[in-house]
Structure 1
Amino acid sequence: MSEHAPEEHDLYATPADAVEEPPRTLRKALGRIGPGLILAAAIVGTGELINTTGLGAKAGFTLLWLILASCVVKVFVQVELGRYAIVHGKTTLAAFDTLPGPRAGASWICWLWLFMMLATQAQIAAMEGTVGQAAHMAFPGASDAMASAVGSVSPSWGAFLKTREEYIWAALTTLAASALLLSGGYRRIERITTILVAAVTLYTVASVAVLQWTRFRIGFPDVASGFTLALPATAVGLAFSAFGITGVGAAELVAYPYWCIEKGYARFVGPRPRGDDSGWVDRARGWTRVMQLDAWVSMLVFTIATVAFYLLGAAVLHPQGLDPKGPEMIPTLARMYLGPLEGTPLEPLRGGVRIAFLLGAWAVLFKTLYVATAANARLTVDFLNLTGLWRPAGDAGRERAIKVFCVVYPALALALYYAVREPLGLVKAGGVAQGMMLPLIAGATIYLRRRDDDPRVGPSRLSDACTWIAFVAITIVAGYSAFDLARSLLAS
């Protein structure tokens, strides 16, 4: 990331003395995964809790096929970006910076990434605001007390916060995320996100299982209707936004190689030799297999969680005509968990389920805010280094620069939520930006793969074909999404 000579502990350097043989058994390889779980923490967040449940609420079970396709198809592009980082020792933006085309300090696609990343701050804003709603529901007395405390200093502000009590919690969430990010690096991020992903996934799957003992039971005909490849006209816009957000979105695709590099995969392979080196080839193949295992394990985790969120929206919210949006988003989502218990032997558990939901909503949104900010900060520093606008000296300088943006981005998102206060609209805006960027990222990945091909460590023909299929599918979806957006703008 920097033109300065790397320090020995620089996570982005690939010194020859840092090489390590890859694990040779599945059990040992599973012990070396991690970047994908960080990605899963970012994926199973706002898009799933808000957008995916909203899609299920609007379309019912009909678009289950789209959710599954969205989760699976983009992983092939993710794997190829991870492979490139391991084999060439380059971050995503550094690789994209070598693409042909216009430049303004950095490649055109790096600038497009910057605009997309700034647009996705709308999703971060939605996370902060929705966490505020959940916290206010869980602790209304504390909300009133804090608003009253502010009122004792400024009566007008106190009165305002009485009607916007989630604002206080959103601000506290922003401060907590920044403080946590400032206090640790990759290992802490991996540890925290792994725990939260496991907890959220288990809770959501359990919630779907409980539906089978309620009036919202999911039957085989319901699930089968989700594979008719239908696309209801009333849900087209939300569907394509969901494709951009669910599964590995554009932001996660670009971030994944950074986590692979910080995990050490590229360091363990070592610098690429100029001539033949069977040892390097063996290490590159071995650590690439670990990366592939990491990507597909994380895909399994976030697909299970995403499908569970969608089924909850389709089974509970859709029949009641409920749509989670605006200031009532969290209360509506709470009804998705609590409503099925009414009139059943499980009704006495409603109080505990309500608390569990609010804690789960906090975990889902906070971990995504945490991981997305950590990733955006790293990529921003890399971008500034490539353009020459700010070139931190070595690993220590990079870490200091990253910490600056770990404060700037949450604060920017908080201001955006205060200005808009519409989580679903913010999520859709970020989803559209990611959806438009996806085909460019997939196309760039294929170009880099063919230009810098090393057949000794390259993908199989099947994997290469699947990457092309992913590119075509992503491009079709993005094209239709752009057409639909233009049509809606002209109609208005």
Structure 2
Amino acid sequence: MSSENPYHVTEATIQEPPTSFWQRMKYVGPGFILSASIVGSGELIATTLVGAKAGFVLMWFIIFSCMVKVAVQLEFGKHAISSGESTMESLNSLPGPRLGKANWSIWTWLVLMSAKMLQVGGIVGGVVLALVHFFPFLAQPTPQACALLIVAASVSLLVYRGYYTLIEKASLLMIGAFTLFTIASLVALQFTEFAITGSDLASGLLPSIPKETALLLIAMGAFGITGVGGDEIMAYNYWLIEKGYARFTGPRQDTAEWERRAKGWIRVMYWDAIMAMVAYTFMTVMFYLLGAAILNRQGMVPAGDQVINTLGNMYTDTLGPWARSLYILGAIVVLYSTLFAALAAWTRMFADAFGRIGLYDFKDPKARGRAIAIAAWIIPAIWAVLYMVMQDAALMVIIGGLATVVILLIVVLAALYFRYFRLDPRLRPAPWYDAWLWLSSIAIFLVAIIVLYDSVYNPLRELLQTAGGGAS
């Protein structure tokens, strides 16, 4: 039945969009699932490290990077609502070569996700490393391997049934928990020698371009890790569809009624995305401030795996042993939320991609549910095994981050294609929206080129030069 299948849009599923603020609030939620994923390892570890390296001077850029990319997310969401298409179904409509039934973009995504597996495997390792504080015996190889598998299995248990409502509520609960944790951390900070002053905040909010090349590269890297990434944007369509936005809009028709419903539900989506952006921007800035206030003032830039312990030690020195335990407990919640939200999204994206390749019918609710359940058990097991093999969370996150940059380029290309070649003319946006979309697209493209040049081309060139020198 279509009422039980959010991916099947019929006239029987039509529902008028809410018109008042409080009615709209009943339908927000998809964006907060993204927030649970966004405010995870990237913000806790990477953003804190950016603050440690740059001090307060790049805070304005962190805020900019969170806000500017939302335009691409909105374009993806608008396409899902008006067409009823899932992300992979939409990508399958892009121009370009095909291999079998699937478009080049789907095959490219599948290849890149093998590198992304390393990134989330590093996060599984991060959870276990944090648990060592409470259970020291987990530092031993055998108990640690068991803990990795248990963490992976616990995420599978939460996700394998695939219920949207459970995922949304759990995400909101985790967001609330680490919001309180972060606020408590900053309040506690004000009673230490690392207290943040008004002049610190003013220097961070005043836009300025660092003259040092190293800080410029840090800023570019920060752009890639803060706010919505390519995988979060791709995941957003599934949450919109499963919340009912596309079903409520109904099949596309040349009627004033359909136009009114489409614009109404797109407006609800705008509220959802903007509210989520405010939430994760707030959290990102809080983590950045912790890094700038504590680590930068100490001249400390620890390795990625050591950020949690280092910050925990800072609180121990100033507030007592209890503060370190509280901080690490909060860090576990933050990292685990990333695993939870990432798995919920990945199961749908992989199930959808395999459906487009032709392995089964993604639109069949029973077959889709079975594919999601299988993926929910296999993917976390791969994460855990990858960490057991590599044992380097920082390197794993970096490798996955490079794949994220390329995925983001595919997402930008798709968003522009949806806007100019597939958008219903009746839903054409205002000029300011198009300007925002182009600003977002150009910024993402330029940063991607810089990051790939610095992180792929330069190391490869140095490696070849070293090899050539050794041969001579």
Match of 1:148 in 2: none
Q: Is the 8 A contact 1:51 1:424 kept in 2?
A: no
Task: State the one-letter code of the partner of 1:127.
Answer: I
Q: Is the 8 A contact 1:63 1:231 kept in 2?
A: no
Output one character per residue of 1:22-62: Cα deviation in whole Å (capped at 9) or x when no partner.
11101110121000000000100010111111121222223
Task: State the one-letter code of the partner of 1:137.
Answer: H
Q: Is the 8 A contact 2:171 2:337 kept in 1?
A: yes
Of 45, 52, 68, 1:50 maps to: 45
Cα distance in 2 for residues equivalent to 1:166 and 1:53: 26
Kindly report the root-mean-square deviation, in angstroms, between the aligned alpha carbons of the 2 structures: 2.0
Of 287-296 and 88-97, more deviation after overlay is shown by 88-97
Q: Secondary structure at the match of 1:137?
A: coil
Cα drift, residue 337 of structure 1: 4.0
Task: State the one-letter code of the partner of 1:17.
Answer: A
Q: Is the 8 A contact 1:241 1:431 kept in 2?
A: no
Cα distance in 2 for residues equivalent to 1:248 and 1:389: 30
Q: Secondary structure at the match of 1:131?
A: helix
Of 228, 234, 239, 1:248 maps to: 228
Match of 2:459 in 1: 488
Cα drift, residue 473 of structure 1: 0.7
Cα distance in 2 for residues equivalent to 1:333 and 1:115: 36
Cα distance in 2 for residues equivalent to 1:108 and 1:168: 39
Q: 1:167 to 1:357 in 2, by over 3 A?
A: farther
Of 330, 333, 336, 1:360 maps to: 330
Q: Does 1:263 align with 2:243?
A: yes
Q: How does 1:341-420 map to 2 (within 5 A)?
A: 342=318, 347=319, 350-391=320-361, 394-420=364-390
Q: Is the 8 A contact 2:41 2:123 kept in 1?
A: yes
Q: 1:334 to 1:171 in 2, by over 3 A?
A: farther
Cα distance in 1 for residues equivalent to 2:305 and 2:409: 34
Match of 2:440 in 1: 470
Match of 1:205 in 2: 183
Cα distance in 2 for residues equivalent to 1:393 and 1:72: 34
Match of 1:322 in 2: 300
Of 375-384 and 131-140, more deviation after overlay is shown by 131-140
Q: 1:291 to 1:392 in 2, by over 3 A?
A: closer
Match of 1:444 in 2: 414
Cα drift, residue 331 of structure 1: 1.6
Q: 1:335 to 1:410 in 2, by over 3 A?
A: same
Match of 1:312 in 2: 290
Match of 2:118 in 1: 122
Cα distance in 1 for residues equivalent to 2:312 and 2:448: 32
Q: Is the 8 A contact 1:334 1:354 kept in 2?
A: yes
Cα drift, residue 77 of structure 1: 0.6
Q: 1:120 to 1:241 in 2, by over 3 A?
A: farther
Cα distance in 2 for residues equivalent to 1:205 and 1:317: 18
Match of 2:146 in 1: 168
Q: 1:327 to 1:365 in 2, by over 3 A?
A: closer
Cα distance in 2 for residues equivalent to 1:309 and 1:211: 12
Q: Is the 8 A contact 2:11 2:251 kept in 1?
A: yes
Q: Structure 2: which 5+ residue stretches go unaligned?
A: 464-472
Identity %: 39
Match of 1:69 in 2: 64
Task: State the one-letter code of the partner of 2:50.
Answer: L
Cα distance in 2 for residues equivalent to 1:425 and 1:334: 22
Cα distance in 2 for residues equivalent to 1:179 and 1:280: 39
Of 6, 10, 24, 1:15 maps to: 10
Cα distance in 2 for residues equivalent to 1:197 and 1:13: 31
Of 183-192 and 114-123, more deviation after overlay is shown by 114-123
Match of 1:93 in 2: 88
Cα distance in 1 for residues equivalent to 2:140 and 2:135: 14
Q: Is the 8 A contact 2:30 2:240 kept in 1?
A: yes
Q: 1:287 to 1:338 in 2, by over 3 A?
A: farther
Task: State the one-letter code of the partner of 2:90.
Answer: A
Task: State the one-letter code of the partner of 2:208.
Answer: T
Cα drift, residue 248 of structure 1: 0.2
Q: Is the 8 A contact 1:85 1:257 kept in 2?
A: yes
Of 121-130 and 55-64, more deviation after overlay is shown by 55-64
Q: Secondary structure at the match of 1:180?
A: helix
Of 317-326 and 16-25, more deviation after overlay is shown by 317-326
Q: Name the TM-score, length of structure 2 as normaliser.
A: 0.92
Cα distance in 1 for residues equivalent to 2:202 and 2:241: 41
Cα distance in 2 for residues equivalent to 1:448 and 1:127: 33
Cα distance in 1 for residues equivalent to 2:301 and 2:155: 29
Q: Secondary structure at the match of 1:286?
A: helix
Of 164-173 and 241-250, more deviation after overlay is shown by 164-173
Cα distance in 2 for residues equivalent to 1:421 and 1:233: 31
Cα distance in 1 for residues equivalent to 2:61 and 2:384: 31
Q: 1:368 to 1:16 in 2, by over 3 A?
A: same
Task: State the one-letter code of the partner of 1:240.
Answer: M
Task: State the one-letter code of the partner of 1:421.
Answer: Q
Cα drift, residue 483 of structure 1: 1.6
Q: Name the TM-score, length of structure 1 as normaliser.
A: 0.89
Of 375, 392, 396, 1:426 maps to: 396
Q: Structure 1: which 5+ residue stretches go unaligned?
A: 1-5, 145-160
Match of 1:220 in 2: 198
Q: Is the 8 A contact 1:138 1:358 kept in 2?
A: no
Cα drift, residue 70 of structure 1: 1.5
Task: Say how many residue pairs are matched.
Answer: 459
Q: 1:463 to 1:164 in 2, by over 3 A?
A: farther
Q: Is the 8 A contact 1:77 1:445 kept in 2?
A: yes
Cα drift, residue 190 of structure 1: 0.2
Q: Secondary structure at the match of 2:148?
A: helix
Cα distance in 2 for residues equivalent to 1:327 and 1:199: 22
Cα drift, residue 326 of structure 1: 5.8
Q: 1:240 to 1:117 in 2, by over 3 A?
A: farther
Cα distance in 2 for residues equivalent to 1:72 and 1:56: 18
Task: State the one-letter code of the partner of 2:282.
Answer: I
Task: State the one-letter code of the partner of 1:290.
Answer: V
